[in-house]
Amino acid sequence: MGLAGPGFEKNLQEMSERLKDRNHVAYHQGLETLGLCFGATTTRATDQGAPDVIWSFAGDFHLAFEAKTEKGKDSKLSKSDLQEAKGHPEWVRANLCNDPEKAEVETIIISESSSLHQIALPFAGGIFYCAPQKLWQWSQKIAEGLRKLRVRFSGREFAEAVKEFSNEMRNKGLDLDAVKATCLSEPLKKK
């Protein structure tokens, strides 16, 4: 009896545990694995001014994440938090884009709370917000979808299965539109 590849379940399990962890290193690792679940090319940067994790997709589309998961529920995002995040697209364009002028780069802050310091309010434009809980729940749904894909398309060739695979990706929310819909649904700046 053939064995299920141990790497697959191990990766998903580690991702689930890490996305529950509020320690920034573990969280970044979890976020990186979640990006892989969508077929993104992931980058975990440590440079000054760089996003914590970047998901890059075909068509020069990039999602830059700034994880402030160590901040408590009562903490507010500060002006310096937002200024840091605002510089991320520039870093991504300089380091990861094929065409810096035409590439699409969006920034997402992950934090327990989307509350802002009064002084930070003018800097919130153009940044999106995502709660860690929402991201974790999403990761569980995505993991389940991947498990099903893995069973259904086992032993098949991409070229022959691509149409069916694409439909299943859409059904399970693994396509790029679904990623955009989830990550870019909540602007940080409230109207």
Is the CB of 48 or the CB of 159 nearer to other proteins? 159
Task: Find residue 68's DSSP bridge partners.
Answer: 111
The answer to the question of residue 6 lying near other proteins (CB under 8 A) is yes
Question: Binding marks (x or -) toward other proteins, 96..115, rule CB under 8 A?
Answer: --xx--x-------------
Is the CB of 60 or the CB of 112 nearer to other proteins? 60
Integer Cα distance of 151 and 159 in angstroms: 18
Of 14-22, 78-86, 105-113, 154-162, the window that binds other proteins (rule: CB under 8 A) is 154-162
The answer to the question of residue 163 lying near other proteins (CB under 8 A) is yes
**Binding test (CB under 8 A) with other proteins, winner from 175, 180, 182, 184:** 175
Is the CB of 92 or the CB of 174 nearer to other proteins? 174
Is the CB of 57 or the CB of 189 nearer to other proteins? 57
The answer to the question of residue 181 lying near other proteins (CB under 8 A) is no
CB of 11 to other proteins, least distance (A): 6
The answer to the question of residue 40 lying near other proteins (CB under 8 A) is yes
DSSP the chain: -PPPPHHHHHHHHHHHHHHH--SHHHHHHHHHHHHHHTT-EEEE--STT--SEEEEETTTEEEEEEEETTS-TT--B-HHHHHHHHTHHHHHHHHT-SSTTT-EEEEEEEES---B-GGGGGG-TTEEEE-HHHHHHHHHHHHHHHHHHHHHTTT--HHHHHHHHHHHHHHTT-SHHHHHHHHTS-BSS--
Q: How many C-beta atoms surround the C-beta of residue 147 within 10 A?
A: 15
Q: Which residues of the shown chain bind other proteins in the complex (CB under 8 A)? A: 1-8, 11, 36-41, 57-61, 98-99, 102, 146, 149-151, 153-155, 157-160, 162-163, 165-166, 169-170, 174-177, 179
